[in-house]
Structure 1
């Protein structure tokens, strides 16, 4: 896709922009795409479109999320980093002053992010099981934990990692895939049950569902009590 010139404007969340009506982040590596995103030249620098069909945080922002706590300089623990599509935008947002520790259980998938991590310098890919934070005890305390892990006990895994790594008053975000928890229940009922679990450790600061971008997903923004 060719680079476009655009009179982009700053969006409501730090480090995000709107260009041609598309959510964007400022490209840490100008001229370099991570997937098939659009690139825009603007007075803010080169911007990368953030596709809500490929990234759940982007879908949440498109759905009207009011609180998105990720900011420049933050230390982030990312559970389920996969091939790095979303992580690359997080990388743009925390910039060179921040760092992202990306946990992924599949070595095949993790290999896909190695080049991105080497180029950007603020992503640390880690081959480990997010359910077992004792496998990566050397990680420093972080400002934010993000979880995108389609397993039955996803809320419990988030809490387990936050107890170990999240600073007091720090933030967490989780994309709940209801069908991974219970296919027999309505997604709205699953979200209510997961909310009760999460509220034992966090204050819920925001919640949106992700349709039509992601089916049967709910997105929670949380603050550690």
Structure 2
């Protein structure tokens, strides 16, 4: 099993060991008396990547660009163990929730922006980030990653979750994944891929670094 980043631990909740981070609760998850809250991999693709033992390259305190932050379920856990965390979400309703999550996390910066248009937030997001986490439900997921590659330092990491049904609801997921990976290779070297079906049907976890 790959080592977890500093700030992510396995702790007992409801009689079993679960991923956890230290911070304020966000989505009704259990929290122990020491302030550690359970990280539900069934509601978090990055959590599922950790559960599968993928080598994310994260050690803790990274600068992060999170694409597809929604209402903050996963990005709240990321902000618990990372450094400055920029959270991009294009839908106004979840961003209102995200603003509430950020109130308890001084390092979390919500951005009401479209991840397909990084030029709209390039003046806000710092360059040479350590990591991009991508979880967007749209066609063109590889295009999104490639366009945002500009923010990553040369030895940074892309942690992407490819949603087959968001690309093509009728195609075989394996074919979709291969097409997306082919496009990703224009800008990234693929280091590891894992199907996340135990937690998320027809999703592929991808670890990559810039070319």
SS at match of 2:169: coil
TM-score scaled by length of structure 2: 0.90
Shift of 1:90: 0.3
Q: Distance in 2 between matches of 1:173 and 1:23?
A: 21
SS at match of 2:32: strand
Q: Distance in 2 between matches of 1:174 and 1:196?
A: 14
Shift of 1:64: 3.3
Shift of 1:58: 0.9
Q: Distance in 2 between matches of 1:60 and 1:14?
A: 13
Q: Is the 8 A contact 1:23 1:58 kept in 2?
A: no
Give the corresponding residue for 1:149.
136
Give the corresponding residue for 2:199.
213
Q: Is the 8 A contact 2:137 2:166 kept in 1?
A: yes
Output one character per residue of 1:55-77: Cα deviation in whole Å (capped at 9) or x when no partner. 00111222332x02233221111
Please point out which of 35, 49, 53 is paired with 2:38.
49
TM-score scaled by length of structure 1: 0.85
**Structure 2 regions of 5+ residues with no counterpart?**
none
Give the corresponding residue for 2:106.
121
Give the corresponding residue for 1:69.
57
Shift of 1:184: 2.4
1:189 and 2:175 correspond: yes
Highest Rg: 1 or 2?
1
SS at match of 2:4: coil
**Which runs of structure 1 show a deviation greater than 4 angstroms over 4 or more consecutive aligned residues?**
none
**Structure 1 regions of 5+ residues with no counterpart?**
1-10
Please point out which of 84, 87, 100 is paired with 1:99.
84
Output one character per residue of 1:118-168: Cα deviation in whole Å (capped at 9) or x when no partner. 211010001111111111121111111111111110111111011x21111
1:173 and 2:165 correspond: no
Please point out which of 30, 37, 40 is paired with 2:29.
37
Q: Is the 8 A contact 1:19 1:40 kept in 2?
A: no
SS at match of 1:39: coil
Give the corresponding residue for 1:201.
187
SS at match of 1:180: helix
SS at match of 1:179: helix
Q: Is the 8 A contact 2:155 2:210 kept in 1?
A: yes
